[in-house]
């Protein structure tokens, strides 16, 4: 399939303000995927001028209260995989792994922070809320755009495409927490994902840059609180998180393919770990 052409077309359609045609598209999408519009700050389908504005709709106040845990889940979605990083390998699905260095665009020094650390891959389905929030308080230190493929990232593809999340286009966001240390949140692109955006940069793609691009941020330049929005997908995809060794003990209720919601407990910092 011509994934790039399909994705470009989908991006144009999603951004188009087509009046009744846009409303009909949104109404079809809501019915097809079972989107719960009662959770939206604005539940009126006909009021959205473009599909993008519908797709990145905010939630009503109070819909996702934050748990009193060290880390909260940053998105609505389903757990693809999570657990310990095997030396520097991240488990994708049966028979498939990729390395932390591959995920972050080949930067070995950045990847070294997460050797024998922990990871979580969370998939956002079409019906999910598509804004991404912070799992804990942190300051941004770096953002890396990594060009790549545009494979679908649904569970079936994750089981079939080796190294999927390290092959697709992605935006790697590196944060620092004074207590927990550095961690990474990677926004992974996919077929028909029109763009990815962050609150500090705006839309990162398009244009789809042909090479890795790197931005560095001064201390205090971008500081975000737990639960605060950090980015969004225009059409759905996956978030891959990396944590240092001993930085997180995941919620014992988590399991692969389990449904999760923004603000729920994701994990705690082990009591015997001190920086």
Residues annotated as catalytic are: 76, 133, 237
| Rounded-to-10 torsion of CA 227, 201, 173, 177 | -50
Tell me the C-alpha distance between 157 and 8, whole Å.
21
CA angle 154, 11, 48 (to 5 degrees): 100
Tell me the C-alpha distance between 7 and 4, whole Å.
5
Kindly state the tokens that stand for 48: 């959205």
Tell me the C-alpha distance between 176 and 196, whole Å.
21
Tell me the C-alpha distance between 198 and 143, whole Å.
10
Tell me the C-alpha distance between 234 and 251, whole Å.
29
Bridge partners (DSSP) of residue 170 are 146, 188
Tell me the C-alpha distance between 92 and 64, whole Å.
28
């Amino acid at each position: 399939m011509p994934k790039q052409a399909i994705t470009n077309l989908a991006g144009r359609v999603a951004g188009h303000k087509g009046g009744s045609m846009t409303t009909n598209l949104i109404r079809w999408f809501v019915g097809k995927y079972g989107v719960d519009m009662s959770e939206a700050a604005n539940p009126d389908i006909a009021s959205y001028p473009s599909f993008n504005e519908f797709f990145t709709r905010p939630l009503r106040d109070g819909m996702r209260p934050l748990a009193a845990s060290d880390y909260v889940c940053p998105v609505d979605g389903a757990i693809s995989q999570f657990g310990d990083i095997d030396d520097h390998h991240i488990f994708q699905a049966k028979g498939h792994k990729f390395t932390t260095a591959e995920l972050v665009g080949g930067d070995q020094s950045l990847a070294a922070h997460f050797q024998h650390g922990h990871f979580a891959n969370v998939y956002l389905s079409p019906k999910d809320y598509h804004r991404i929030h912070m799992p804990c308080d942190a300051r941004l230190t770096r953002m890396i755009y990594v060009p790549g493929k545009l494979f679908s990232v649904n569970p079936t593809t994750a089981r079939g495409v080796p190294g999927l999340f390290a092959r697709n286009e992605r935006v790697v966001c590196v944060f620092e927490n004074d207590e927990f240390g550095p961690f990474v949140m990677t926004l992974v692109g996919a077929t028909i994902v029109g763009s990815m955006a962050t609150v500090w940069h705006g839309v990162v793609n398009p244009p789809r840059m042909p090479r890795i691009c790197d931005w560095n941020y001064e201390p205090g330049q971008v500081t975000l609180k737990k639960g605060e929005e950090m980015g969004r997908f225009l059409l759905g995809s996956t978030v891959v998180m990396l944590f240092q060794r001993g930085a997180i003990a995941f919620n014992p209720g988590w399991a692969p393919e389990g449904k999760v919601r923004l603000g729920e407990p994701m994990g705690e910092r082990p009591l015997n770990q001190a920086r």
